[in-house]
């Protein structure tokens, strides 16, 4: 089972309409796109997918659509973290019932408390099903002493790995050095997908892979095969672009997905993304062309 938890996975958008409701037609198109691009897996209803902002019923409906559309062609991992542990458990059970390959969860969202509290929250979710469980960590938030945290985490049933959204590479290394092959690690920082592999990460889960999945997968695989030059040139261009678009990232994503793939991911659910500025078509396409050129992709898709 472990062999499927590696490579490049999109932290999927959840397309919405203007009222903030999940837009199923656009979601289905996105799933088909990501699979056609050769992505290794799909991560559903995480931060990029605005999961915690949807109702429980909406989250279940979104997951069911993704799994049905994917049709077993790629593994699907769903983020089940919610405001209450009870809701997270119900979402985990639903994930198992409808055929997800793994579940993931953020730490307690509001009443975070101590490391012990986070571990107990994780345990209750993990015990609810037999699915592989991947806690989602934002840096060392709730981890405290990393070696101690990892050893306690490994005592929880079904824990298979972690999603690590941290810019601190030493944190990834510390977790890998403590866990070894007992945990499959995914880097959740798009801008460090190559760097994290040097620290023990088996794969990467990120938002920008919705847009540039082909380019990012090509570069990550080339880097692992020893093409340092291509990886360096690409990652510097990628990081420059990420820094540039971050202040208006959702409007950038929405415009880019529309222009490149004809998929409208819709607006964010307020208060997220309020007051973001709109982008011109020309600038969005120019930025995308630079990223793909840095990966060795031409307008015809050739190398």
180-237: per-residue pLDDT in tens? Answer: 999 999 999 999 999 999 999 999 999 999 999 999 999 999 999 999 999 999 999 9
Q: What is the DSSP string of 244-266?
A: HHGGGHHHHHHHHHHHHHS----
* pLDDT-based confidence at residue 300 (cuts at 50, 70, 90): very low
- Please state whether 139 falls in left (phi above 0), alpha (psi between -120 and 50) or beta: left
What pLDDT does 108 receive? 82
pLDDT (tens digit per residue) in 152-191:
999 999 999 999 988 899 999 999 999 999 999 999 999 9
Region 36-61 average pLDDT: 95
The whole-number pLDDT of residue 282 equals 98
290 is catalytic: no
Q: Domain 2-224's class?
A: alpha beta
Phi, psi of 85 (to 5 degrees): -65, -35
| pLDDT tens string 117-137 | 889 999 999 999 999 999 988
* H or E stretch covering 14: none
29, 43, 122, 136: the catalytic one is 136
Q: What's the pLDDT at 130?
A: 97
pLDDT grade for 270, boundaries at 50, 70 and 90: confident
Band (141; pLDDT cuts 50, 70, 90): low
d(CA 187, CA 191): 10
Please say if 136 is a catalytic residue: yes
pLDDT at 26: 98
Q: Which of 163, 209, 217, 255 is catalytic?
A: 163
């Amino acid at each position: 089972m472990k062999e499927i938890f590696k490579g490049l996975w999109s932290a999927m958008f959840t397309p919405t309409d203007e009222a903030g409701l999940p837009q199923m037609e656009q979601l289905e198109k996105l799933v088909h796109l990501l699979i056609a691009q050769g992505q290794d897996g799909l991560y559903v209803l995480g931060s990029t997918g605005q999961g915690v902002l949807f109702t429980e019923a909406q989250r279940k409906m979104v997951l069911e659509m993704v799994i049905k559309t994917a049709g077993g062609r790629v593994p699907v991992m769903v983020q089940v973290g919610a405001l209450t542990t009870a809701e997270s458990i119900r979402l985990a059970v639903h994930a198992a019932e409808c055929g997800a390959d793994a579940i993931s969860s953020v730490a307690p969202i509001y009443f975070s408390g101590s490391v012990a509290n986070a571990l107990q929250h994780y345990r209750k979710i993990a015990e609810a099903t037999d699915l592989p469980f991947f806690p989602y960590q934002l840096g060392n938030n709730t981890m405290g002493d990393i070696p101690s945290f990892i050893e306690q985490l490994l005592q929880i049933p079904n824990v298979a790995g972690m999603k690590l959204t941290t810019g601190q590479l030493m944190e990834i290394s510390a977790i890998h050095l403590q866990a070894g092959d007992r945990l499959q690690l995914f880097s959740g920082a798009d801008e460090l997908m190559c760097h994290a592999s040097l620290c023990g990460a088996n794969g990467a889960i990120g938002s920008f892979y919705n847009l540039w999945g082909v380019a990012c997968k090509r570069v990550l695989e080339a880097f692992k095969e020893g093409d340092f030059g291509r990886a360096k040139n690409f990652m510097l261009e990628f990081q420059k672009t990420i820094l540039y678009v971050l202040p208006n990232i959702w409007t950038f994503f929405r415009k880019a997905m529309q222009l490149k793939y004809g998929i409208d991911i819709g607006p964010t659910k307020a208060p997220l993304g309020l007051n973001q500025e709109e982008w011109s078509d020309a600038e969005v396409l120019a930025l995308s062309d630079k990223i793909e050129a840095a990966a060795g992709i031409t307008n015809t898709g050739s190398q």
